[in-house]
Structure 1
Amino acid sequence: MSIGRTGLLAALALTSALTQPAFARTARPAAQKVLPTTSYTLPNGLKVIFHIDRSDPVVAVVLAAHVGSSREVTGRTGFAHMFEHLFFLNSENLGPGGLDKLSARVGGTGANGSTSRDWTVYNQEVPKDALEKMIWAEADKLGFFIKTVTPAVLEKEKQVVKNEKRQSVDNRPYGHARELLDEAMYPAGHPYRWQVIGSMTDLDAAQLADVQDFYRRWYTPNNSTLTIAGDFDPAQAKAWVEKYFGEIARGAPASRPKPQPVALTASKSLAYEDSYAKLPQLSIAWPTVGVADPDAVAIEMLGDLLTEGREAPLTKLLVEDKKLTDRVDIGNWDSEIAGESVLAVRAFPNVTLDQVKAAVDQGLAQFRVDPAALARVKTLREAAIYSQLGDVDGKATTIARYEAQTGDPDFLDTYLTRLRALTPADIDRVFRRYFYQRPTVSVSAVPKGKAALALTGAAMVTPITEPIVQGAEAAIDQNAGRTAYTRSPSKIDRTQEPPFGPTPTVTPPTPWQATAANGIAVSGIEDSELPVVRFTLSVDGGQRLDGGAKPGTATLLARMLTRGTARRTPAELEKALQALGARIDASVDRERLIVSGTTLARNYDTTMALFREILLEPRWDANELALAKAAVTARIADNKSDPQALAARVTNVVSYPQGSLLAQDILGTPESVAALTLNDVQAAYARLSPRTARFRVAGAVTQAQTTAALAPLATAWTTAPTALAALPEAAKPDAARLFFYDVPDAKQSLLMFSTPTVRRGDADYYPLQVANYILGGGGFASRLTQEVREGKGYTYGIRSGQQGWRTEGRWTMSSPVRANVTLEAASLARKIVADYPTTFTAQDLALTKTSLSKARAFQFEQLIDKLDMLALIGDYGLPVNYPLREAAVLDGMTVERIRGLAQRYWPVDRMTFVVVGDAATQMGRLDALGAGKPVAAKPLID
């Protein structure tokens, strides 16, 4: 488990998504490394790793400390994660704002970090001209940091971490399942027993001396690794590393911990009533092994064989045969000293978890290793690796995390060797050793008041949550306790930030464009860096296919398209795609239906044959329709437990005319979905026309290949366009209005402010994006983050942004905040937006221009970025040279222009304010916000 600044709780499960890649159309030599590295160690013990990648003018710098929650002790938990937060804030020579401000100044993707059981990683990706700056900055953190931490800084960051826990655990459906699993799985004293985020009681008790001791014990060169990946001169980088890191003193020895596997003597079963969950969920965990154990790869592949695909035994029984759920997931948490595999099943409404457990047991009893299935899941792993290695940050982080967990930066190659050598006998062996008829830990999470759905015999528990008391937290003065300190001595002048290197040249990719004989607009960008291809078909329709009278039709159509074909059952289609290392999915938004896919380049032609079959020959199976309807209905119920989804739903309902298309849920309602028939879905499909379709492709594929792959569609798909339902425009209120959706006893309130703006293709759209950078789009450089999170500690995250469609646009700000400061946080955010037209400065403009212009180095780094470029050209009508036009717009922006845009498009006196939280304690207080008297929103959408 990993906790990072962006709010993602799940760690990048490296070995769960890696397999043998093919970096060329011919076989890769067995001795060739996937991510070639060179490494050396400074005299003070710092290990330095280099990986050269010349594909883009960017570099990633990753500092990894071999310390996570497993280095903590009972009563002092959560320190590693707390320290990750503190590490970004300041240092002697970087000054307040630390890495966050530096990353913004140099045009980086944003300083980030994550903490796991075993390591803490700090990663930055920047244009190559900022490499020396980042090495200087990371050294300042490692060796010249701790004097800048004051009691006020510590107290404020405690509140931020608490908000992170409320957002990720307390205020989240099924959020407590993991902590209950770990407490039952690991015995007292085991370092994996507690969560990475730690105990809030422990954090409350933490004193400045505790933080200082933690830093001096673990944040030492000999317990850290510096990884640099990208386009750089290794000799120059080595000199810089020696200059800035070389004099930092070695710390106390930090030995690598020994394995501490768990052996359960009997099964354990716990249950709790979840205030947010709308569906029952069963989690089952088996103790396994650490990441370096030779059995880890086989255990991973066993999980895939049990659940991946329609014919996998657990999926077949629970989804296909017994219809208890729409999916079965299993994840392998192979940490450094132990591990566990966790199966999660979110059942349909009112399904008992006894039924789920019986089906799981039946599926395990029926399991036999199929050599052909093993070969397919291996191929899927081969393709999945590219999602992690598509940019230099992913490459650097993969190297750093493997080094931290195993001591070997090239452990990926060991993993791949083990994967290639796997046999059915290996799978059968680990199945019987770790899974079949072995003791487990299970947690039943059931909706409030539905304890009867839990496993029979499960011990009912009540997870510990922090009470929210109005006025309980004192206001924090960030200047309090700030005392002068003597700057730490150094052989060099560290107060001077290094200069930029030569400015890198950034050239946008040049797409090719064509029109197929049946009218499909085709475009592509050839990129042979990796042997992979991504593609998308975008067809006008989307929610408009519902016609207003049959909500949910388009959603069901998208689900039905990939549920087999006229020639293949769903299982046969899945197996055909798996064998190619390919995936094809379909989805809808308000304007279009999208069929997207990814495949290995060597299998592009075969994958496209399956794509044509999916598009032209849907299966239209009544049983599959029933399964799809059940899944959509469950998703509708699930969204009722998601504060963000609830706020967005309320916003749509109050923004569009009652009963109009966009006032409806794109999923439909349980009643409308139940009433839909195959004829309804087929009628929507029949309205898809190639003349309103765009096909785009990016990767190691030529225009000639794509043209040939689409040629069979010329005569097979000739449907003429038909008129689609018109989309309404959002109302522009004459006055501010406030809606409150009640979630009793919510530990946080979700704030969402919104206002109509402009279409994606309008002239003011990009200027508004530029204007929003300092307001709320620039991450830790933004005013909202600096004042609401960093200044007050009210939230874990807050941001604002532009969303644009063909017909209209919307600006939205959202943030989950501590419940007892709902009014204070909303008032502060409202004031920041209201004052923006008068407070935006020349310094703000300079930072905006520098950051956004230098960030062009990353603009088209990944294949998905290139597809996004083609989408803006094809779906929204932007010119092919729009990146150059936007660059010119940025260069010409002025303070007056941004102030005028903010005043015109973000009027707080005419905005829509939506709050999702505890009405009993917070709704009445919001009378003072100045947005009108709160209106109860639940009757509007329930």
Structure 2
Amino acid sequence: MKLTKFLVPALFLAAFISCKNDTQENKEEQSDTNDISIPFERHTLENGLTVIFHEDKSDPVVAVALTAHVGSAREKTGKTGFAHLFEHLLFLESENLGKGGLDEMSARIGGSGANGSTSRDVTNYFQTVPKDALEKMIWAEADKLGYFINTVTEPVLAKEKQVVKNEKRQSVDNNAYGHESYVIGKNLYPEGHPYNWQVIGSLEDLQNASLQDVKDFYNEWYTPNNAVLTIAGDFDKKQALEWVEKYFGEIKRGKTVEKTIVEPVVLTQTKKLYFEDNFAQTPRLAMTWPTVPSYDKDSYALDILGTYLSNGKKAPLNKVIIEEDQVADQAYAYSYTTELAGQFGLVARAYDGKDLDSVLSSVNKAMALFEKDGISQNDLDRIKTSQETDFYQGLSSVLGKGFQLTQYEILAGDAGFLTQDVKNMQAVTIEDVKRVYETYIKGKNYVMTSFVPKGSIDLAVNESTLAQVAEEKIVDGAEETFDASIIATYERTPSSFERTEPKYGPAPQLAIPDVYTETLSSGIEVLGIEDNEVPLVQ
């Protein structure tokens, strides 16, 4: 493709994802040029480990992600926060990585973005490394999955408990509106529902977690047949598969993991709750409705509904609540979907001293405006274009593509779901947006929370009841003491070969992209680079 004379004279990056879905199961050519996909291969080891390869030779780097299908939804009442705890623990020592674990190795081999994340549904461990360090990363990730849990001793657990508890204190307990998600979750999802508690868990559960509790949780969920290893970037697939089989192959399969099934959430009445927030300076109103899980056909229209209500000068929430009534400086709606359920939320942060009943009245006016005018085709097209741009930008790195493949594999049941996902985004109509509003929002029961500054109960919505929140009592010297210098002693897991750190591969060579030049009739020089990764132009 060449730059035509009428395009903007700038650094030009044009990209088109391959129109071939290169899976083991399906290597057929796709005829529709609008069908985009990430070419990949899927392999399954005998122990059940799913392995996904995406080859991308554009840069001499490789992204490696190990994702366990275990988030807070796999926990039990009274034993919450374990999935998030392991996000921390797995960056520490393992039997063959030794002290410093992945963090130390990443710094030494030139890795970038070494991190982890925990959600309701999965826990991710990921980083990008130079291609000559791929075998090292495969070795290290295998060590985490099969040669790790023996290194978790009482002192190690005691230290990491405090790290996680301190994170909760900073991000939740001592943060304005920090308990809002907790109150919504407790009242939106019934007792026993996997989303009834928060990902970070409770301080009490973390404190009470025994070493055996932690080991049992790991042994149950961190197994090859409950994990996906994704490798994306510049690498040799045949060689990589040999390394994966070598380092992961003898890790034992775990129990069969059954798919979690839950009934759709139904609220029999609207719940109004208030909470006096120690750190909030102004009152905040939140309204939350139960909706649908990720990739449900209605999730796409709900996402557009949230965007339209919130973004732009014409957005009903902005137009009525912020500009006309001037009762809040922030108002937005959003759709949040996960594996088992979804929710649609509306949030308005009021001005200092503003009664939240007046904010609620303004919200109702904004929603009435939407019911009257709906969404125009121009606004629908604008939002779709923005969504697609953001989506493709997320695929512009090998790590981004690897993450997307993994998410589809676990949550959609097919790593090749991208083509259908984009079609579903593009297919949303004006009627769909109206329909999901009437199906899930209009006249439906919801959870309403009024978070008000300390001593300002009168600002909460009328007829609200006090939300039950377990707040930690601050007691000097209450924390356990531990000696971080203690070297853990443990029994080593047997292996059929010596699991020492492998050597580097051949030094990577950087391929500099060709830059072409053209001169417009006006004399302006144009520089361009052709790039075939994502369908975006800059």
TM-score (norm 1): 0.51
| SS of alignment partner, residue 330 of structure 2 | coil
Q: Quick one: which of 432, 442, 446 aligns to 1:440?
A: 446
1:476 paired residue number: 482
For residues 507 and 331 of structure 1, the distance between their equivalents in structure 2, rounded to whole angstroms, comes to 42
Other-structure match for 2:288:
285
| Local SS of the residue matching 1:152 | helix
Distance 1:252 1:30 in 2: 43
CA contact (8 A) 1:365 1:436 kept: no
Report what 2:51 is aligned to: 48
Q: What is the SS of the residue equivalent to 1:503?
A: coil
Is the contact made by 1:58 and 1:125 (CA closer than 8 Å) also made in structure 2? yes
The amino acid that maps onto 1:497 is: E
SS of corresponding position for 1:328: strand
1:431-510 pair list within 5 angstroms = 431-461=437-467, 463-478=469-484, 480=486, 482-485=488-491, 487-494=492-499, 496-506=500-510
1:127 partnered with 2:141: no
Question: Is structure 2 residue 430 aligned with structure 1 residue 424?
Answer: yes
SS in 2 for 1:40: strand
Separation in 2, partners of 1:447, 1:510: 59
Question: Which position in structure 2 is the counterpart of 1:372?
Answer: 378
Task: Give me the whole-angstrom Cα distance separating, in 2, the residues matched to 1:320 and 1:392.
Answer: 42
Label 1:46 to 1:284 Cα distance change in 2 as closer, same or farther (>3 A).
Answer: same
User: Which residue among 402, 405, 427 is the counterpart of 1:399?
Assistant: 405
Structure exhibiting the larger radius of gyration computed from Cα positions: 1
- Classify 1:224/1:530 alpha carbon distance in 2 versus 1 (closer, same or farther; 3 Å): closer
- Residue type matched to 2:424 in 1? R
- Find the counterpart in structure 1 of residue 216 from structure 2: 213
In the other structure, the counterpart of 1:317 is 320
Give the AA of the match of 1:148.
T
Distance in 1 of aligned mates of 2:423 and 2:481: 56
Contact 1:509 1:525 in 2 (8 A): no
User: Pick from 82, 87, 92: which aligns with 2:85?
Assistant: 82
For residue 154 of structure 1, what is the aligned residue in structure 2? 157
1:54-69 matches, cutoff 5 A: 54-69=57-72
Deviation, structure 1 residue 527: 6.1
Q: Secondary structure at the match of 1:63?
A: strand
Deviation at 1:402, TM superposition (A): 2.6
Aligned residue number for residue 16 of structure 2: 23
Instruction: Within 5 Å, give how 1:664-743 maps onto structure 2.
Output: 699=538
Contact kept? 2:18, 2:37, Cα under 8 Å: no
Q: Residue 390 of structure 1 corresponds to which residue in structure 2?
A: 396
- Find the residue that maps to 2:219 and give its secondary structure: helix
Contact residue 76 and residue 202 of structure 1 kept, 8 A: yes
How far 1:365 sits from its partner (Å)?
Answer: 2.3
CA gap of 1:386–1:324, structure 2 versus 1, over 3 A, is farther
How far residue 350 of structure 1 moved from its aligned partner, in angstroms, is 2.2
Q: CA deviation at 1:104?
A: 0.8
Residues of 2 paired with 1:274 and 1:387: CA distance? 38
TM-superposed CA distance for 1:414, in Å, is 2.2
Query: How far 1:510 moved relative to its partner?
Result: 10
Aligned CA distance change for structure 1 residues 449 and 462 (closer, same or farther; 3 Å): farther
Distance 1:196 1:412 in 2: 27
Deviations 1:809-856 (A, max 9, x none): xxxxxxxxxxxxxxxxxxxxxxxxxxxxxxxxxxxxxxxxxxxxxxxx
The change in CA–CA distance for 1:327 and 1:523 in structure 2 (over 3 A counts) is farther
Cα distance in 1 for partners of 2:285, 2:15 equals 38
Q: Secondary structure at the match of 2:78?
A: coil
Distance 1:202 1:24 in 2: 46
CA RMSD of aligned residues (A): 2.6
Question: Could you tell me how far 1:34 is from its partner in structure 2?
Answer: 3.0
Which residue is 1:412 aligned to? 418
**Structure 1 pair 218–474 and aligned structure 2 pair: CA distance change class (3 A):** closer
Say yes or no: does 1:274 pair with 2:283: no
Question: 1:541-564 deviations in whole A, cap 9, x for unaligned?
Answer: xxxxxxxxxxxxxxxxxxxxxxxx
Q: Distance in 2 between matches of 1:152 and 1:178?
A: 32
Contact kept, 8 Å, 1:152 with 1:481, in 2: the verdict is no
User: Given the alignment, which residue of 107, 113, 117 partners 2:116?
Assistant: 113
> SS at 1:104's partner residue?
helix
Distance in 2 (CA, whole Å) between partners of 1:465 and 1:100 is 33
Post-superposition shift, 1:480? 5.0
Quote the Cα distance in structure 2 between the aligned partners of 1:528 and 1:267: 52
Secondary structure of the residue aligned to 1:432 is helix
Which whole-Å CA distance do the structure 1 matches of 2:526 and 2:164 have between them? 45
Name the CA distance, whole Å, in 2 between partners of 1:25 and 1:391. 15
CA contact (8 A) 2:66 2:229 kept: yes
Contact 1:331–1:341 (Cα < 8 Å) also in 2:
yes
2:421 aligns to what SS in structure 1? helix
CA distance in 2, matches of 1:231, 1:127: 9
Paired residues of 1:260 and 1:338 also in contact (CA < 8 A):
no
State whether residues 332 and 342 of structure 1, in contact with CA within 8 Å, keep that contact through their aligned partners in structure 2.
Answer: yes
Structure with higher RCO (Cα < 8 A, 6+ apart): 2
Quick one: structure 1 residues 194 and 531, their matched pair in 2 at CA, closer, same or farther if it must change by over 3 Å? Answer: closer
Cα offset for 1:200? 0.9
Give the counterpart letter for 1:492 in structure 2: F
- Quick one: distance in 2 between partners of 1:441 and 1:492? 56
Tell me, in whole angstroms, the C-alpha distance in 2 between the residues paired with 1:323 and 1:427.
Answer: 27
The residue type paired with residue 449 of structure 1 is G
Match of 1:244 in 2: 247
Report if the CA contact (8 A) 1:70-1:118 is conserved. Answer: yes
> In structure 2, the residue corresponding to 1:342 is in which secondary structure?
strand
SS in 1 for 2:239: helix
Distance 2:128 2:285 in 1: 39
Q: For the residues of structure 1 that align with 2:292 and 2:164, how far apart are their CA atoms?
A: 30
| CA distance in structure 2 between the partners assigned to 1:160 and 1:306 by the alignment | 39
Residue 343 (structure 1) shift: 1.4
CA drift at 1:301: 1.2
CA distance in 2, matches of 1:523, 1:326: 43
Q: 1:247 & 1:316 partners in 2: Cα distance?
A: 61
Structure 1 residues 481 and 135 mapped into 2: Cα distance closer, same or farther (>3 Å)?
closer
The one-letter code sitting in structure 1 at the alignment partner of 2:501 is E
Q: Which whole-Å CA distance do the structure 1 matches of 2:322 and 2:234 have between them?
A: 47
Query: Greater CA deviation, 472-481 or 129-138?
Result: 472-481
Equivalent residue number for residue 359 of structure 2: 356
**What is the alpha-carbon distance in structure 1 between the residues aligned to residue 222 and residue 440 of structure 2?**
36
Shift of 1:348: 2.2
Post-superposition offset of 1:406: 2.4
Deviation digits for residues 90-115 of structure 1, max 9, x if unmatched? 11111121111111111111421111
Q: Which runs of 5+ in 2 are unaligned?
A: 1-13, 20-30, 518-524
Matches within 5 A, 1:579-590: none
Counterpart-to-counterpart distance in 1, 2:494 and 2:45:
20
Q: Within 2, Cα distance between the matches of 1:138 and 1:424?
A: 46
Q: Which residue type is aligned with residue 143 of structure 2? A: D
1:104/1:110 contact within 8 Å kept: no
Report the residue type matching 1:23 in the other structure: F
Amino acid at match of 1:45: G
Cross-structure match for 2:4: none
Alignment of 1:258-269 (within 5 A): 258-269=261-272
Match of 1:163 in 2: 166
Q: Give 1:472 shift.
A: 1.8
1:152–1:479 Cα contact (<8 Å) kept: no
Q: Any idea what SS the aligned residue of 2:328 has?
A: coil
Residues 24-75 of structure 1: CA deviation (Å, up to 9, x unaligned)? 899x945643322210111111111111122211111111111111111111
Cross-structure match for 2:188: 185
Aligned to 1:338: 341
Q: Which runs of 5+ in 1 are unaligned?
A: 1-20, 514-521, 533-599, 602-698, 700-942
User: Using the alignment, how far apart are the partners of 2:172 and 2:95 within structure 1?
Assistant: 34
Amino acid in the other structure paired with 1:91: S
Runs of 4+ in 1 over 6 A off after TM superposition: 507-513, 522-525
